[in-house]
Amino acid sequence: MPDSHSPFIRPEWVPTVAVNSRILIVGASGGLGTALTAMLCKGPDCLIGAHGNSVPVVACDPYVHAFSGTLDGEAACIQLVDRFTKIARGIDALVMLTGGLTHAEHWNSLSEEDWRHDIDLNLNIPFFVARAAMRVMKAQGSGGRIILTGTESAIHGGSAQSFPYAIAKRGTECMVEGLARDGAPNGILVNGVRLGFIASGFHERWAGRDAQHMRNRADMVPLNRGGHPDEVAALIIYLMSGWASYITGQMIPLTGGDWL
Catalytic residue numbers read 165
144 forms beta bridges with: 188
Calpha distance 172→112 (Å, rounded): 21
